[in-house]
């Protein structure tokens, strides 16, 4: 086990603990937010984005040297049509099931049986894609970051 | 289960904490926090071609973190329940909805991205155009045959 893996595991633990402690792994909380009946989850996400944005901008300007990954390099993408279409597909599913990949793993950790169904669905979708579209040949995007290209 | 953790935590505490964790992971490892990529790595790992093991550790950490909170503060969704949606849908329908939703989502999001990769995109568009043209041709041909073969009184 490398130091990077251990640190990432700890960050995952912390993130999921905060996520679950806020109740974001519960259908009702997400559903109320999407119905605009409860603004608190949305404000929480906005404050999370704001906090991360300010810290990362400051670190980037100071050319922060990360202990495990060299100089901090924030990845940026231009907004394209695919993002809008993908967002619409995701949003539709989010409205129906009130779940995202983070919710699925925190639901499993929280003891929800149906969290396993969500995870199986995610894995099945990725596998189905891989069955239909084989790994692409070397393209700039694929070479730059294959995992990011396939996910997020 | 212990009720030592006040769940849910106040949202003004949770938001900045989440932001700090995202920025913290970036600041320490130069990697961005994301669970979708961890699932991709999980699938790759099952085929023996994993490249980023840290993402699997991250995924394991999320499960452990949620388990810790459920242990310390309780989780109202533990067991087979699924909140209000579980009250509307019977269990088989609920399972089907959850499975299909994620299949479509993951499939589309990853395939949609691939379609924009130039070489494959060209090939795929080419293939779709060719297939469409071929099927249209077959349909027209069959339509003409049906028309000619039909009895005259049905014209």
Is the pLDDT confidence value at B154 over 60? Answer: no
Same domain assignment for residues B47 and B74: yes
- B96 and B40 in a common domain: no
Smallest Cβ–Cβ distance between A68 and the set B28, B37, B115 belongs to B28
Q: Are B74 and A112 in contact (CB under 8 A)?
A: no
Nearest residue of chain B to residue A132 (CA atoms): B111
Closest residue, chain B, to A18 (C-alpha): B14
Question: Between B51 and A34, whose confidence is greater?
Answer: A34
Range in A60-74, B98-112, B121-135, B141-155 the model is least confident about: B141-155
Q: Which of A90, A75, A82, A96 is nearest to A31 (CA)?
A: A96
Q: Is residue A88 assigned to a domain?
A: yes
Residue B56 and residue B125 in one domain: no
Q: Is the pLDDT of residue B17 over 70?
A: yes
d(CA B30, CA A59): 11
Residue A138 lies in a domain: yes
Does A14 score more than 70 pLDDT? yes
Q: Are residues B67 and B88 in the same domain?
A: no
Q: What are phi and psi of A71, to 5 degrees?
A: -70, 140
Highest mean pLDDT among A112-121, B16-25, B31-40: B16-25
Helix (H) or strand (E) holding B151: none
The pLDDT assigned to B117 comes to 47
Query: How many domains does one find in chain A?
Result: 1
B112 and B122 part of one domain: no
Same domain, B9 and B75: yes
- Gap between the Cα atoms of A143 and A84, Å rounded: 24
Confidence of residue B18 (pLDDT cuts 50, 70, 90): very high
Based on the domain organization, do B92 and B151 belong to the same domain? no
B88 and B35 together in one domain = no
Has the ipTM of the complex gone over 0.90? no
Among candidates A21, A29, A130 on the partner chain, residue whose Cβ is nearest the Cβ of B5: A21
With an 8 Å Cβ cutoff, are A89 and B104 in contact? yes
- Range in A45-54, A112-121, B2-11 with the lowest mean pLDDT: B2-11
Chain B residue numbers touching A149 (CB-CB < 8 A): 113, 117
Q: Which residue of chain A comes nearest to B31, CA vs CA?
A: A69
**What is the distance in angstroms between the Cα of B76 and the nearest Cα belonging to chain A?**
8
Is 70 exceeded by the pLDDT of residue B119? no
Q: Which tens digit of pLDDT belongs to each residue from A29-62?
A: 888 898 888 888 899 999 999 999 999 999 999 9
Same domain, B27 and B60: yes
Domain count, chain B: 3
What whole-number distance in Å separates Cα of residue B111 and Cα of residue B43? 16
Nearest-Cα distance to chain B for A77, in Å, is: 13
pLDDT score of A124? 87
Specify the residue for token string 């995924």: B59
Return d(Cα B3, Cα B7) in angstroms, integer: 9
Residue A105 lies in a domain: yes
Give start and end residues of each alpha helix (H) in chain A: 3-21, 27-34, 40-61, 81-97, 101-109, 113-132, 140-144, 146-150
Query: Are residue B47 and residue B5 in the same domain, yes or no?
Result: yes
Q: Are residues B13 and B53 in the same domain?
A: yes
C-alpha separations of A150 from A106, A145, B1 in Å: 22, 9, 39
* Residue A120: domain span: 3-147
Separation of alpha carbons A52 and A46, rounded Å = 10
CB A22 within 8 A of CB A44: yes
Whether B13 and B41 share a structural domain = yes
Q: Is A105's CB within 8 Å of B25's CB?
A: no
- Cβ of B65 within 8 Å of Cβ of A20? The answer is yes
pLDDT band per the 50, 70, 90 thresholds, residue B135: low
Residues B23-30 have a mean pLDDT of 91
- Please report the pLDDT score of residue A140 as a whole number: 42
Q: pLDDT value at position A26? A: 86
From the list A20, A146, A148, which residue is nearest B66 (CB)? A20
Q: Which residue range(s) make up the domain with B155?
A: 118-155
Answer yes or no: is A152 within a domain.
Answer: no
> Is the pLDDT reported for residue A25 higher than 90?
no
Among residues of chain A, what percentage have pLDDT more than 70? Answer: 86
Distance from CA of B134 to the nearest CA of A (A): 21
């Amino acid at each position: 086990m490398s130091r990077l893996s251990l640190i990432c595991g700890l960050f995952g633990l912390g993130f999921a603990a905060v996520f679950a402690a806020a109740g974001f792994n519960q259908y009702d909380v997400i559903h109320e937010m999407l119905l605009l009946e409860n603004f608190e989850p949305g404000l929480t996400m906005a404050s999370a984005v704001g906090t991360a944005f300010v810290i990362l901008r400051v670190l980037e300007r100071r050319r922060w040297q990360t202990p495990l990954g060299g100089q901090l390099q924030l990845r940026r993408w231009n907004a394209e049509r695919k993002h809008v279409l993908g967002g619409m597909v995701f949003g539709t599913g989010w409205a129906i099931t009130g779940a995202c990949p983070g919710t699925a793993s925190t639901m499993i950790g929280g003891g929800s049986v149906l969290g396993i169904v969500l995870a199986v669905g995610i894995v099945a979708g990725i596998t189905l894609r891989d069955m239909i579209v084989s790994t692409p040949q070397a393209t700039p995007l694929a070479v730059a970051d294959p995992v990011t290209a396939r996910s997020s | 289960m212990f009720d030592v953790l006040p769940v849910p935590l106040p949202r003004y505490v949770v938001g900045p904490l989440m932001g700090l964790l995202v920025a913290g992971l970036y600041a320490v490892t130069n990697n961005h926090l994301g669970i979708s990529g961890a699932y991709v790595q999980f699938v790759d790992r099952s085929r023996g071609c994993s490249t980023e093991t840290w993402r699997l550790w991250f995924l394991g950490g999320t499960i452990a973190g949620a388990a810790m909170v459920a242990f310390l503060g309780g989780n109202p969704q533990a067991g087979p329940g699924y909140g209000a949606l579980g009250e509307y849908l019977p269990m088989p329908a609920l399972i089907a909805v959850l499975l299909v939703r994620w299949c479509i989502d993951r499939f589309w999001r990853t395939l949609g991205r691939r379609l924009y990769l130039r070489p494959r995109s060209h090939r795929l568009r080419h293939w779709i155009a060719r297939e469409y043209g071929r099927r249209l041709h077959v349909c027209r041909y069959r339509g003409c045959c049906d028309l000619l073969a039909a009895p005259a009184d049905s014209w």
